[in-house]
Chain A
Amino acid sequence: MKNETLYQYILCIADNSLILGQRLGELCGHGPSLETDIAITNIALDLIGQTRSYYQYAARLIDEEKTEDDIAFLRLEREYKNVLLVEQPNTHFGYVMARQFLFDVYHLMFLEKLQYSKDDQLVAVAKKGIKEVSYHKRFSSDWVKRLGDGTEESRQKMQEAVDDLWRFTNELFLMTDAEKTMAANGIGVDIAQLKEEYYKEVSDVLKEATLTVPENTYFTKGGKEGIHTEHMGYILSELQYMQRTYPNMTW
């Protein structure tokens, strides 16, 4: 392989988009209104589009013969490097929006730094992604506010979702060896530096939504090292179903 570390670094970024896009894809046709259905499908589409750009680049790094689909569909669970947050289930619309919001705030900050990478390919993907993710963040923050400051029932549901998902947020800022190396080379982003600003921004929105900012300091982690929650195997069994059942075919 030409650049194993860069390859691993790209997986850390792209797997988040793939798995979150996959989760959102489950909702298609089942949303609370036609407008939210359209918006959520659109976000899924953006995320899958970003995933393709990253994987196409990654495929070129490992082997001329490999494709984006080999990377997307033919890895073992331990080889997926997404954070645990994005694999959490669509328990109810409050969870869907809380998960989205907690990821989008990070995602936009991340891409805004990645656009100054020394790697031209990553710069191009980041620049395109910034436009898309700015919209995602606006959509999810608006819903956090609506649900938080809506009815008593919606406030409770939104609070429950935020409280439950909060433990997955710290993992966003833990750096793998590949991330540390890439940040040191000026290719990757020093994400640990984003943490303070992230919690400030998230807290501001939660407060505006009349929600309580969780105070727990116990955080869970593992996804970035390939140790996932129990949900991941089921996600992959759907994601990989066709490629595993009918190997080596063109679709």
Chain B
Amino acid sequence: MSENEVKNLEAIFEARIARDEKIEPKDWMPEKYRQTHIRQISQHAHSEIVGMLPEGNWITRAPSLRRKAALLAKVQDEAGHGLYLYSACETLGISRDELYEQLHSGKAKYSSIFNYPTVTWADMGAIGWLVDGAAIINQVPLCNTSFGPYARAMVRVCKEESFHQRQGYEIMLTLCNGTQEQKEMAQDALNRWWWPSLMMLGPTDDASVHTEQSMKWKLKRKTNDELRQQFIDQTVPQADLLGLTIPDPDLKFNEETGHYDFGPIDWDEFWQVVKGHGPCNKERMNARVNAWEEGAWVRDAAMAYAEKQTAKKVAKAS
């Protein structure tokens, strides 16, 4: 294809996106669009799968049968999200095994928040309320993103995430209506999860390398800082309702802007966790790699069995 022809295709492609048309897997797309989508969708899928671990950590210790069942269902939803996101990613011409390989080698990233430990039951509430809350803010705009399979997966993901967030908030509310020990447990969880949740919305706009291009392709509709402000504005009144204190002495409503002002975020901590030095990076990756390696004989057996069954059918037919 000549350079002019490619430029022409690109112009048509950009015009389709500008008209809010969906790009489907078999459509022509610029290589950079494909690569950016593989990176973002797989990062999202990996986050779902790694995110199962900190919550899975409390399934066996959930304090009531109702909570145990709800937590199982929630972690199962996350596995389901991982499944559709990997499938959406596979439509771009990469296999799930290759994506896992990128995760296990450290080439692909996942949301750094899952590198923090879940040390009390209240963390199940805080994750639902704050982490899923921040995720929804990030993800709702993606229901209208330009790549069709991703947009469609996100519609379902967002519905379930919104349920998870309410469930998390309800865990917090129950704790806050409980004994002194339970309230302290809830406050302690908020103290530990607040700042990592703010970091989860990504680096500040001046440090974010992908924003401009992602805006054009509708992979992003608002900047990281705008999303963060939205999250804070939405969450502070919810904390007030719980009777909990946000661990930020600088947090104050600004009458002029109509938004909350907040204190400085420790970006050194963020980058340290992103680079693999958070409290649980090693444990999370070991858990994923072990599951994959220890499961190899099972997957091999399933393949061998399927081949034998096919051979039997062929033999019968001939």
Contact = CB atoms under 8 A, between A and B. Distances in A.
Interface of A: 22, 25-26, 28-38, 41-42, 44-45, 48-49, 51-52, 55, 68-69, 72-73, 92-93, 145-147, 149-151, 153-154, 157, 238-239, 241-243, 246, 249-251
Interface string B52-68: 11001001111111111
Nearest to A96: B298
Interface stretch (B3-11, B14-22, B80-88, B209-217): B80-88
Interface of B: 49, 52-53, 56, 59-69, 72-73, 75-76, 79-80, 82-83, 86, 121, 171, 174-175, 177-179, 181-182, 287, 290-292, 294-305, 308
Given A48-B65, A69-B65, A238-B61, A249 B73 contact: no
Contacts of B73: 45
Given A246-B63, A249-B179, 10 more contacts: A30-B56, A32-B294, A32-B298, A34-B83, A38-B80, A52-B69, A147-B298, A149-B308, A154-B301, A249-B178
B52 A29 contact: yes
Contacts of B177: 250
A182 B199 CA distance: 59
Contact of A29 (B53, B66, B86, B171): B53
A81 B56 CA distance: 26
B59 A31 contact: no
B63 to A, nearest CB: 4
A34 B290 contact: no
A72 B305 CA distance: 40
B68 A25 contact: yes
B53 A146 contact: no
Contact of B49 (A34, A52, A243): A34
Contact of A68 (B61, B65, B294): B65
A210 to B, nearest CB: 10
Contacts of B63: 242-243, 246, 249, 251
Given A48-B69, A145-B305, A242 B121 contact: yes
A206 to B, nearest CB: 15
Contacts of B290: 30
Contact of A147 (B64, B75, B301): B301
Contact of B66 (A52, A153, A239): A52
- Is chain A's binding surface mostly helix, strand, loop or mixed? helix
A154 B298 contact: yes
B59 to A, nearest CB: 4
9 contacts: A28-B59, A31-B295, A49-B69, A69-B64, A69-B65, A73-B64, A154-B297, A154-B300, A249-B63
Nearest to B177: A250
A149 to B, nearest CB: 6
A42 B76 contact: yes
B186 to A, nearest CB: 12
Given A49-B69, A93-B295, A150-B301, A239 B86 contact: no
Given A48-B72, A241-B61, A151 B300 contact: yes
Nearest to A239: B60
Contacts of B64: 69, 72-73, 251
In the complex, the 6 A-B pairs of residues with the closest C-beta atoms, listed nearest first: A32-B295, A150-B301, A154-B301, A242-B63, A29-B52, A251-B63
A28 B179 contact: no
B65 A51 contact: yes
A129 B64 CA distance: 21
A176 B179 CA distance: 41
Contacts of A55: 65
A149 B312 CA distance: 13
A52 B68 CA distance: 11
B170 to A, nearest CB: 11
A34 B79 contact: yes
A176 to B, nearest CB: 24
A224 B294 CA distance: 33
A150 B302 contact: yes
A14 to B, nearest CB: 11
B72 A45 contact: yes
A33 B305 contact: no
Contact of B86 (A30, A34, A38, A44): A34
A251 B121 contact: yes
Nearest to B175: A251
Contact of B182 (A28, A31, A49, A249): A249
B301 A151 contact: yes
A223 B303 CA distance: 38
Contact of B83 (A25, A30, A35): A35
Contacts of B49: 29, 34
Contacts of A238: 60-61
Contacts of A243: 63
B300 A251 contact: no
